[in-house]
Structure 1
Amino acid sequence: MTAGITIDLADPVPPYEQIRRQLSSLITVGVLAPGSRLPTVRSLAADLGIAAGTVARAYKELEQSGLIESRRRNGTVVVGPPAVPNGQAGADAAVIAAVDRLIRTARAAGLRDDTLIDLVRGRLTSKLEP
């Protein structure tokens, strides 16, 4: 499970937020399906070499957003991606397809993944009209 989760200590984004973002993305695109069990807080923290409280905070925020649920005997499981309003599921699929095309184009152009993410983040924060 930790193969998909990485922490960049040089990144100004706090480690708990890096974990939250990565898990949220994996759940939203369906890589982590509803019912999937997440590692325990302690095991993920040990695998990543960070404090257990950091992972616990990420899990708490994911639980508050309705993406995961902590169950006493079953551990922490994925509940599912956020519910989409009626008629929007096709739009989500179209966006995922567009993102996949963007990734393929960026890789063909030799862009590194972190550069692509920075580019998208920068464009999101600019004031683009819908």
Structure 2
Amino acid sequence: MKIRIGIDDSGAPYEQVRAQISELARSGALPVGYKLPTVRGLAEELGLAANTVAKAYRALETDGVIETRGRNGTFIASAGDAAEREASSAAQAYAERARRLGLSEDAALSAARDALRAAYA
């Protein structure tokens, strides 16, 4: 597992860890069931505080990317399905809200595209 923390990166270190593990899981570079290093182990490897890695792991677990199995460790979950379900739910909520606001389909799609461009910039 290759994770790099950019000192000059504007993202917080925990967010860099979270984003990179999430991307590695989604791309298949870390397959479902892959056992992640312990919080302390990864913190030592990256030169970060254990609390920083723990925060990233908590966020990843909330996102459904990883799952902790007690003393057995932390593993990559089948994140694709969970992420797709959550995105679908968010899209449905957005569509309903846009309709209630009286936006046309084109206006709603334009607002969503703008938000996505900003999020991925």
Which TM-score band applies after superposition, normalised by the shorter structure?
0.5 to 0.7
- Give the length in aligned residue pairs: 87
Alpha-carbon displacement from aligned partner over 1:77-121 (angstroms, at most 9, x marks no partner): 011223147xxxxxxxxxxxxxxxxxxxxxxxxxxxxxxxxxxxx
Deviation of residue 74 (structure 1)? 1.5
Match of 1:42 in 2: 40
Equivalent position of 1:125 in the other structure: 118
CA distance in 1, matches of 2:19, 2:68: 18
Report the TM-score, using the length of structure 1 for normalisation.
0.62
- What are the within-5 Å matches in structure 2 for residues 84-99 of structure 1? 84=84
Q: Which runs of 5+ in 2 are unaligned?
A: 86-115
What are the residue-to-residue correspondences of 1:28-39 with 2, within 5 Å? 28-39=26-37
1:79 aligned residue: 77
* Distance (whole Å) between structure 1 residues aligned to residue 24 and residue 117 of structure 2: 20
Structure 1 consecutive aligned stretches of length 4 or more whose deviation exceeds 4 Å: none
Looking at structure 1, the residues matched to 65 and 14 of structure 2 have their Cα atoms a distance apart, in angstroms, of 16
Q: Name the amino acid aligned to 1:124.
A: R
Over the aligned positions, Cα root-mean-square deviation in angstroms equals: 1.8
Distance in 2 between the 1:124 and 1:34 partners?
29
TM-score normalised by structure 2 residue count:
0.66
Q: Which residue of 1 aligns with 2:96?
A: none
Choose 1 or 2 for highest CA Rg: 2
